[in-house]
Structure 1
Amino acid sequence: MTELLAKTIVCATSVFLIGLALGAFVLPERIASFLNSFASSARVHFTEMLLRLTVGLSFVAISEEMTFSRFFELFGWVLIITSAILIVLPWQLHKRFADLVVPPLTKRVWLFGLLSLPLGLAIAASMLIA
């Protein structure tokens, strides 16, 4: 049951990244608004961290069954560790960082598409090929 849940979460992550990429090309203003909302409040911050932890744990749990298993295991651990750090730091630090870094990137939201699409497709392919 736990394995099925982890696989479902990883598949949903793939779909999310592909959708984010397509949205970046088709609805860039909407995707920019979505990205700019990250860390906008304590509630959003902790929701984001919970989602990141869940996704990271899911990647670690099923990475052995995926093609490029070491890469996806490392990816999962990066999500887990960075989320854990952000959870213990005051959420306002995350907000300050997001306010500094995200707006310049959302001016070129198509870059998110160029990064999200290959990652989403690689996750999907890795699950299908394994």
Structure 2
Amino acid sequence: MIAIGAQGTAVALGLWMIGLGVLMAVAPRRALAALAAMGGTARVHFGEMGLRLIAGAALMVVSGASRFPQALWLIGAFLIVSAVVLMLLPRRWHSAYSRWWAARIPVWAVRVVAPTSVLIGAVLIWTVV
């Protein structure tokens, strides 16, 4: 039952990456505004970290039944460790870092990397299904 839930969560993560790529392609300024908002409030900060923890745990659980078990396990572990680190650091650092990047990434670059997000999402779904 846990494995099925982890697989569903991994597929949802893949769909999220595809949706993010579409947003980046069609509304890059909106994507940059969303990036700038990360860590802006405690709810957004801890909500993002909670979702990151769930996604990381799902990838680790489903990794054994995937096409690339070591890669998914490492990515899941990275997501979990990075979420814990960000939860322990002052939220204002996360907020400042997000705003700093959002102000420096050009709109054209967001559109250029958008297909990468779509590809990552599709490969993730293919890997776990």
TM-score calculated relative to the size of structure 1: 0.90
Structure 1 partner of 2:114? 113
Structure 1 runs, 4 residues or longer, greater than 3 Å off = none
Q: Report the RMSD for the aligned CA atoms in angstroms.
A: 1.5
Shift of 1:112: 4.1
Query: Matches of 1:106 and 1:119 in 2, distance apart?
Result: 21
Alignment of 1:1-130 (within 5 A): 1-105=1-105, 107=107, 108-128=109-129
Mind listing any 5+ residue stretches in structure 2 that lack a counterpart? none
Cα distance per residue 1:64-89 (max 9 Å; x no partner): 11111111110000000010101111
| Aligned-partner residue type, residue 123 of structure 2 | A
Cα distance per residue 1:96-125 (max 9 Å; x no partner): 211222322263321441331121111011
TM-score calculated relative to the size of structure 2: 0.90
Mind listing any 5+ residue stretches in structure 1 that lack a counterpart? none
Q: Using the aligned pairs only, state the percent identity.
A: 27
Cα distance per residue 1:31-67 (max 9 Å; x no partner): 2222222111121100000000000000001101111
